Structures are given as structure tokens and as C-alpha cells.
Amino acid sequence: MVTQNIWVVSLSGLVALALLVLSANQAVKKLIGIASYFNLSSTFMGMTVISLATSIPEITAHLTASTNILRGSLDYKIGSSIVLGANIGSDVVQQTLIMGIVVFLAGQLYFRRYFLWKSMLPMIGTTLMCIVLGWDRVYSRVDGAILFGTFIAYTYYLYWDERKHYKKEDNLHEDEKVAEGVPKNGKEALRDAVLAMLFLTVTVISAGYVLSITESIVETTGIGGSLLGVVTLGLASALPELTTAIAGIGNKEHGISLGALVGSNITNPLVAIGGGALLSTYWVPRPLIVWDLPWETLTGAILWAILWFTKGKLNKVGAIYLMLLYVVYITLRAGFFAID
């Protein structure tokens, strides 16, 4: 009877998870069109607006969990484990599996060395920040303020850099397929903004339900909340980045693909973890500090080194290596760090 209930609960959780991803994807599409309407280059859009939009599942999961922790309706340690695991797991998925899939489909991606310094080093730096701040096994409100404040400062730098180096030919209006979803006037922009808010509302509701379902599974099975977050929520939360990156490749907008994947790895820890810690603080499971975050840092550093020595070129062979790295990561995680 207990086993049957677990399966029913798990199935309803998967339905809610699918609804979360679908609604987040629709919100992303609307936000992409709105951003393009205001003449932003594809790389800047990917690093800021789109990375923020594709991180909606992670951000809403954190805000929902933090609110429920404060209300007492979600266990502090279980809630912290789930959302932190999902966040960090999503980042590892993007750096390895999804980056590999996108490069494999594209055949080859070219990263400018300027992009390596401006975007990829900050990505590695945010992971190191999370290790240092979480070493005492707690993300305090001060830690949250540091993370969130770093995001604001970095976004301001990107905006200043965009205004300095913006070129009209970088605008996504140049692509006919993308231009179909771009508002033609202020009225259409307002309409799309309202629709985006509606999709975001559905995302928030779905995130809350998924969290409650996952908590029930953790309590019933004894499996570590962070492992469930890494394997299930982490993979599902990365789907908006995957679909957006593939759409960018299909529309020959590699800046979108690279910006969304790298930008989300900056947005997730700084905004989601930072914002959630500001609200409720978090307990940090040991596996995240000794395995997940170090692995994320290592894979980011390896990717940066490969791109530096290959002058920014990543081909199908490199893509296969990245996908294999994810298999190794998740296998060892489940084998040695199943319990928090």
C-alpha cells in the first residue's frame, strides 16, 4: 500500500514537473521577444534576460521553498537539500550534458576569447563563492546578500559593456524566425509581458507542488533530498536552457546558446541561492560541498582550458567528452553520496 502511494505521488509530481517546465518555456519565449524588441544583442540577451528567464524553475523553487520554510510547512533541512541539489545539479547538467548535446547538434561552436574572460571565468568564480560561503554548512542572510549583490554588480557591468560594444547587426531582428515572435509595437510588448506573468504564475504554483511531493518521497524512502534534487529537479530545471540553446543553434544564433548556458550557471547560484538565503537561510548538505560544487568548478575549469588551447573551438569529440563527464558525475554521486 505504501509502495502504491509512492508511485501515485511520484506520478502526480512528474505531471507537475512537466507543467513547470512547459510554463517556464512559454515564459522564456515571450521574454525573448520582449528583450529583442528593445534592441539587445544575442550574446547580451543570452547572458542576462534569457539566462534569467530560463532560470525561472530554479528561482521559483527557491522562493517557494524559502517561503514554506519560514511558514513551517516545509522541513528546513529537507527543503534546503532539495532546492540546493536541484540548483547545483542543473548547473552541472548544463556545463556537461547539455553543452555536449548542443555542440554535437551544431557540429562545432566557436567561443571568442573575449567571451571566455567576460563570461566563463565569472561562471567558475560564482561556484567557488558558493563553496567558500557554504563551507560552514549554512548559507546565511549575509551570504545571500553577497551572492545577490554580486549578480547586480555583474549585470551592471554587462549592460555597460553592451552599450559600449553594441552593433546593430547583432540584433535578433535580423533573423526572420526569431523576428516572428518579437512584438511589433508597445501594445504587443505589453500583451506578451502579461502572458509571461501568467506563465510565471503557473510555474510558481507547479514549483510549490513539486517541492511538497519531493519532500514526501524523501521522508518515505530515506533517500537524500539533495540527490533527488540533483537527479530529477536538476535535470528537469535545465530543460529550458536546453530548448533555448537548441533553438539558438537552429536559428544560427550561437550567441543565444552560449549566453543562455553560461549565463544560467551564473544566475542560478547568485539569484536563486542568494535570494533564497536572503529570505530564509539554508542548511547545506555535505555532498554539495565535497562533491557537487567541486565537480561543477572542475568541469567549468576543464571546459575553459580546452577552449583556451583550441582557440575557442569545440567540436563533436569535445561534445562526447562533456556528455561522458556527466555520466561519471551522476554515477559516482548516486554511488557514494546518496545520503545527506
Q: Classify residue 85 as exposed, middle or buried by CB count within 10 Å of its CB (0-12, 13-18, 19+).
A: buried
Residue range(s) defining the domain that contains residue 268: 2-336
pLDDT at 24 (0 to 100) = 65
Q: Which of 24-38, 278-292, 317-331 has the lowest mean pLDDT?
A: 24-38
pLDDT at 201 (0 to 100) = 75
pLDDT at 174 (0 to 100) = 46
C-alpha–C-alpha distance, residues 48 and 262, integer Å: 10
Q: Are 245 and 256 in contact (CB under 8 A)?
A: yes
- Quote the cell numbers at residue 6: 509512492
The mean per-residue pLDDT over the stretch 31-55 comes to 71
pLDDT at 283 (0 to 100) = 94
CATH number (domain holding residue 321): 1.20.1420.30
CA angle 52, 21, 126 (to 5 degrees): 35
**Confidence grade of residue 23 (pLDDT, cut at 50, 70, 90):** confident
Tell whether the model's pLDDT for residue 251 goes beyond 70.
no
Residue with cell 567561443: 111
Tell whether the model's pLDDT for residue 258 goes beyond 70.
no
Q: Which of 134-148, 281-295, 313-327 has the highest mean pLDDT?
A: 134-148
| Span 285-308, pLDDT tens digits | 988 898 889 988 988 888 888 888
Quote the number of domains for the chain. Answer: 1
**Confidence grade of residue 245 (pLDDT, cut at 50, 70, 90):** low
Its sign, for the CA torsion 185, 196, 105, 44, is positive
Q: Which of 26-30, 184-188, 257-261 has the lowest mean pLDDT?
A: 257-261
Identify residue 84 by its one-letter amino acid code.
L
Q: Smallest Cα–Cα separation from 102: which of 262, 219, 337, 217?
A: 262
Tell whether the model's pLDDT for residue 173 goes beyond 50.
no
pLDDT at 235 (0 to 100) = 61
Q: C-alpha 197: how far from its chain's center?
A: 19
Q: pTM for the whole thing?
A: 0.73
pLDDT at 151 (0 to 100) = 93
| Span 190-243, pLDDT tens digits | 888 888 778 867 766 776 676 567 656 666 665 555 565 566 655 666 666 666
Q: Which of 57-61, 225-229, 321-325 has the highest mean pLDDT?
A: 321-325
For every residue of the chain, which 3-state class applies, written as one string?
Answer: CHHHHHHHHHHHHHHHHHHHHHHHHHHHHHHHHHHHHCCCEHHHHHHHHHHHHHCHHHHHHHHHHHHHHHHCCCCHHHHHHHHHHHHHHHHHHHHHHHHHHHHHHHCEEECCHHHHHHHHHHHHHHHHHHHHHCCCCEECHHHHHHHHHHHHHHHHHHHHHHHHHCCHHHEHHHCHHHHCCCCCCHHHHHHHHHHHHHHHHHHHHHHHHHHHHHHHHHHHHCCCHHHHHHHHHHHHHCHHHHHHHHHHHHCCCHHHHHHHHHHHHHHHHHHHHHHHHHHHCEECCHHHHHHHHHHHHHHHHHHHHHHHHCCCEEEHHHHHHHHHHHHHHHHHHHHHCCCC
Q: Which of 105-109, 143-147, 179-183, 268-272 has the highest mean pLDDT?
A: 143-147
Q: Which of 143-157, 253-267, 284-298 has the highest mean pLDDT?
A: 143-157
| Span 77-114, pLDDT tens digits | 888 988 898 888 878 888 888 888 878 877 777 777 77
The mean per-residue pLDDT over the stretch 155-164 comes to 79
pLDDT at 43 (0 to 100) = 65
- In percent, the amount of the chain with pLDDT more than 90 equals 17
- In percent, the amount of the chain with pLDDT more than 70 equals 69
Tell whether the model's pLDDT for residue 69 goes beyond 90.
yes
